[in-house]
Amino acid sequence: MNTPIMGAGGGFSVDSGVSPWGRYKAQIVAGFFYLFVLAGCGFHLRGEMVLSPILSAPYVNAANAEFKEDLTKVLNRRGIRAVNDPEIASAIIDLVSVKFDRQVLSINSRGQATAYILTYQVLCRFVDRTGRVLASPARLKLSRTLEYQSTQVLPKKQEEDALRARMREDLVQQILRRLNSVSQASPGGLKTEQFS
């Protein structure tokens, strides 16, 4: 390819020695290199998860219908077929408890709450069909501040529902990360983790 170079006597060109196809191949190689580097750092593109065969068809056990539905949907989107019968499940994702709490953070001059602290606490564990623990139980805790942008009752409820849905989504992602690291190690002590 000829690259124009401007000189004192006008324009002339020199051969750079690199064809367009050569540059294209170099870009492809560089792209694969960056993907390998990112994978080595623990970064993974969202999509199908590759799990141990024992977690390939899990059953989600949860008394909280919202959490069970959210987790099951995300598992299915990631290529993991969640089953509806624990008897045929390869393993059980057991959400032992899901607790939600709302505390007043601030009030206005009329004594009306203008902000709350919302908190979710989830205790989860992973077991096989026989009840053998695959990983230590984990307690996940997530808190968010809700400041109302409206004084109307319906918009305030919509604001809270939207924030609660985002919090559940964050906790589901934490559970998925735990699934990625589950091994058939002997059970350990209860772990408490705080996520901001």
Sorted by where each starts, the structural domains of the chain and their CATH numbers stand as 2-40 (no CATH), 53-195 (3.30.160.150)
- This prediction has a pTM of 0.65
Q: What b/e string do you get for 121-144 counting C-beta neighbours within 10 Å, with b at 16 or more?
A: bbbbbbbeeeeebbbbbbebbbee
Write down the pLDDT at residue 131.
84
**Contact at 8 Å (CB) between 62 and 71?**
yes
**Contact at 8 Å (CB) between 191 and 136?**
yes
In three-state form (DSSP H/G/I as H, E/B as E, the rest C), the secondary structure along 109-177 is: CCCCEEEEEEEEEEEEEEECCCCCEEEEEEEEEEEEEEECCCCCHHHHHHHHHHHHHHHHHHHHHHHHH
**How far apart, in Å, are the Cα atoms of 126 and each of 14, 93, 151?**
66, 5, 43
103-141: per-residue pLDDT in tens? 999 988 888 888 999 999 999 999 988 888 888 888 999
